[in-house]
């Protein structure tokens, strides 16, 4: 089966994008997506993103208005996250290319975490209304606190060591730990133990944060289903929320990731989080996909 794809990256967090505007479900199985994401046996990416048609407006009081497109994403291991911050910036650029639309333009995108609105700005950056953070233990989900309470500065024992962690959901689950020196943190060894810790029934994205100044922090991430990546947009949003809740960050903070900086603002007015950063086309191509089921 021949696949046409584009490859986008936001701060080095990279995604294969596939045009599925004429379908209602992704054209690849999770196993096929994982095969294409492999950096040695495939195209190489942190995830695969599918552009599907939007949803019509729902009637009723709590009904949502119509969306332009639906974004589905598979992590590089084939698991499906609810949301993806760098991915949605890439997705907005990809849609603008497919639609022949120029900035400024705002899309309304249906995701498994609700409606998310990325705005293409004339300077080339994408500013995304990421919606509100979710804080209760049930929403993360985590067993670190009673279901209706947030888990802020809770002890978590990993490999015999006690870390003080805060959990935040941006639609997808995050666990934030403040460390003295993030460059020296043994992410590759410890990250996977956070990801699969029994206190997190849907696994977790693990962010490690060094506070440089209250409005400037450094972050490294071990992503659920993808491992170490150069950037994580939802993780950067979750980290600023955790920083504010722990009295260590301002509501408007720059997050420096290995792939570059993101501007994060947690609005005191409407409780929404706004993320601003780049997204670029890396290359386009086609490849022949062997069917893993018939291999």
Among the residue ranges 85-93, 178-186, 263-271, 277-285, the one whose residues contact ligand ZDP (CB under 6 A) = 85-93
260-266/273-277 β-pairing = antiparallel
* Cβ proximity of 273 and 131 under 8 Å: yes
User: 37 catalytic, yes or no?
Assistant: no
Answer yes or no whether residue 75 interacts with ligand ZDP by CB under 6 A: yes
Residue selected from 87, 118, 133, 277 as contacting ligand ZDP according to rule CB under 6 A: 87
The token pair at 230 is 């150069």
Point out the catalytic residue in the list 84, 90, 175, 237. 84
User: 84 catalytic, yes or no?
Assistant: yes
User: What is the Cα–Cα distance from 20 to 54, expressed in whole angstroms?
Assistant: 11
User: What is the Cα–Cα distance from 73 to 89, expressed in whole angstroms?
Assistant: 13
Answer yes or no whether residue 93 interacts with ligand ZDP by CB under 6 A: no
Residue selected from 78, 131, 233, 277 as contacting ligand ZDP according to rule CB under 6 A: 233
Q: Which is nearer to ligand ZDP, 214 or 265 (CB)?
A: 265
Among the residue ranges 61-69, 81-89, 99-107, 115-123, the one whose residues contact ligand ZDP (CB under 6 A) = 81-89
Positions 149 through 188 that interact with ligand ZDP (CB under 6 A): 172
The DSSP call for residue 123 is T
Q: Which residue has tokens 């992503």? A: 223
* Cβ proximity of 92 and 117 under 8 Å: no
Residue selected from 81, 133, 243, 259 as contacting ligand ZDP according to rule CB under 6 A: 81
Return the beta strands (E) in 11-111 as ranges: 13-19, 47-53, 69-75, 105-106, 109-111
In whole angstroms, how close is the CB of 56 to ligand ZDP at the nearest point?
Answer: 27
Point out the catalytic residue in the list 37, 175, 232, 237. 232
* Cβ proximity of 235 and 85 under 8 Å: yes
Residue selected from 26, 42, 78, 85 as contacting ligand ZDP according to rule CB under 6 A: 85
216-223/252-257 β-pairing = parallel
Q: Where are the alpha helices (DSSP H) in the chain?
A: 30-37, 85-99, 187-195, 233-245
Answer yes or no whether residue 37 interacts with ligand ZDP by CB under 6 A: no
Q: Which are the catalytic amino acids?
A: 84, 232
Binding site for ligand ZDP (CB under 6 A): 13, 75, 81, 84-87, 172, 205, 223-226, 229, 232-234
């Amino acid at each position: 089966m021949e696949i046409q794809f584009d490859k986008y990256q936001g701060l080095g967090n990279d995604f294969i994008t596939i045009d599925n505007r004429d379908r209602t479900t992704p054209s690849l199985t999770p196993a096929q997506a994982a095969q294409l994401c492999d950096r040695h046996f495939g195209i190489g990416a942190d995830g695969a993103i599918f552009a599907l048609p939007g949803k019509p407006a729902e009637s009723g009081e709590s009904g949502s208005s119509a969306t332009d497109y639906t974004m589905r994403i598979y992590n590089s291991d084939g698991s499906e996250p609810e949301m993806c911050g760098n991915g949605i910036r890439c997705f907005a650029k990809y849609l603008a290319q497919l639609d022949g639309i120029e900035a400024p333009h705002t899309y309304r995108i249906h995701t498994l975490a609700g409606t998310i609105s990325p705005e293409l700005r004339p300077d080339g950056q994408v500013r995304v209304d990421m919606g509100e953070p979710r804080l209760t233990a049930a929403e993360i989900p985590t067993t670190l606190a009673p279901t209706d309470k947030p888990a802020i500065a809770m002890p978590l024992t990993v490999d015999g060591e006690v870390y003080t962690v805060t959990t935040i959901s941006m639609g997808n689950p995050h666990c934030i730990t403040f460390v003295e020196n993030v460059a020296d943190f043994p992410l590759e060894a410890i990250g996977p133990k956070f990801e699969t810790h029994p206190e997190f029934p849907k696994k977790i994205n693990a962010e490690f944060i060094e506070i440089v100044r209250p409005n400037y922090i450094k972050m490294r991430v071990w992503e659920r289903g993808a491992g170490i990546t150069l950037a994580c947009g939802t993780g950067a949003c979750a980290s600023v929320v955790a920083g504010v809740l722990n009295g260590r960050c301002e509501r408007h903070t720059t997050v420096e990731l290995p792939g570059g900086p993101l501007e994060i603002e947690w609005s005191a007015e409407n409780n929404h989080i706004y993320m601003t950063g780049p997204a670029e086309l890396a290359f386009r191509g086609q490849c022949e996909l062997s069917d893993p089921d018939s291999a």
